[in-house]
Amino acid sequence: MSESLNQFIMRRRAELEAAEEALRAQIREIANEREQLRKAAIGAGLALESILDRDEHRETPTKPLSPPRSQKRASEKTIKEAVVALLKRYGRGMTALEILPEINAALNVDYPRTSLSPQLSRLKADGIVMREGNVWSLVEWATGNDEASDNAPMKESSEASDNPGVFE
């Protein structure tokens, strides 16, 4: 016996819904991996702004197309930029274990300790920070650099202490 039009439509809709759900699951996996790669690139200090910008505007079934952004968001700061800003903000040296949660909170990410260490080493190699024991601090403070007066360490204000994401 052949199926009725109603039965055909119901069966076909169920098949399409199952196929669609399988595709949505694949898209979620791809989106999760893309996000992990984005975080890794930011953590490594790679200049991927054009790629990040393209991903930001990509339309997916779970996210409508977004308009172009006019400003770089704080979460796109590199770890290195955030470390320098953080040390300037606090006006003192900090251990990596103190730096990491501040960076994660400010950039709204969850970097592991293994992402911070290479960036601190790069900053040290670039002559921007130095390490005494386990405390990292800005070289400009130790050298008494005259240009450092323009970038003198900021005292921790009540606004800054209430909002760990405030670096400037």
Q: Is the pLDDT of residue 160 over 80?
A: no
Residue 146 pLDDT more than 60?
no
Q: Taking the CB of residue 131, how many other CB atoms lie within 10 A of it?
A: 15
Report how far residue 168's alpha carbon sits from residue 164's, in angstroms, rounded to the nearest whole number. Answer: 11
Q: For residues 112-136, give the mean pLDDT.
A: 91
pLDDT for 3: 87
Q: Are 45 and 117 in contact (CB under 8 A)?
A: no
Question: For 13-69, what is each residue's pLDDT tens digit?
Answer: 999 999 999 999 999 999 989 888 888 877 777 655 545 555 555 555 555 554 443
Q: Architecture of 74-162 per CATH?
A: Orthogonal Bundle (1.10)
Helices (H), 44-157: 49-56, 79-90, 96-107, 113-125, 139-143
DSSP 36-64: HHHHHHHHTT---HHHHHHHHT--BTTBP
Sheet holding 129-132, edge to edge: 94-95, 135-138, 129-132
pLDDT at residue 35 in the model? 86
Residue 154 has pLDDT above 50, yes or no: no
**Among 106, 99, 97, 102, residue whose Cα is nearest residue 76:** 106
User: For helices 49-56 and 5-43, what crossing angle results, to 10°?
Assistant: 150
